[in-house]
Amino acid sequence: MIEMVQYDYIRYLYFNEGLSQRSIAKKIGVHRKTVKRAIENPEQKYNLTAVKDKPINGKYEHLV
């Protein structure tokens, strides 16, 4: 699965550097369809998938 950083890099190469979709796909090593999808979609928002628990030392944090 492609990471958010790669989506941002694809958009940067396409809009700022002016590279073609095909050259971006070759450079990064992904399919052209993936590059097209990254360009057509607006910026992705980062979603927290699960609530994170407190660290194990949570109740002893004041001592540290």
Q: What is the pLDDT of residues 16-53, one digit of tens each?
A: 999 999 999 999 999 999 999 999 987 766 666 777 77
What confidence score (pLDDT) does residue 2 get? Answer: 80
- Between 4 and 12, residue with greater pLDDT: 12
Distant-in-sequence, close-in-space partners of 57: CB < 8 Å, separation ≥ 6: 64
What is the pTM assigned to this prediction?
Answer: 0.65
Report the alpha-carbon distance of residue 15 to residue 22 in Å, rounded.
14
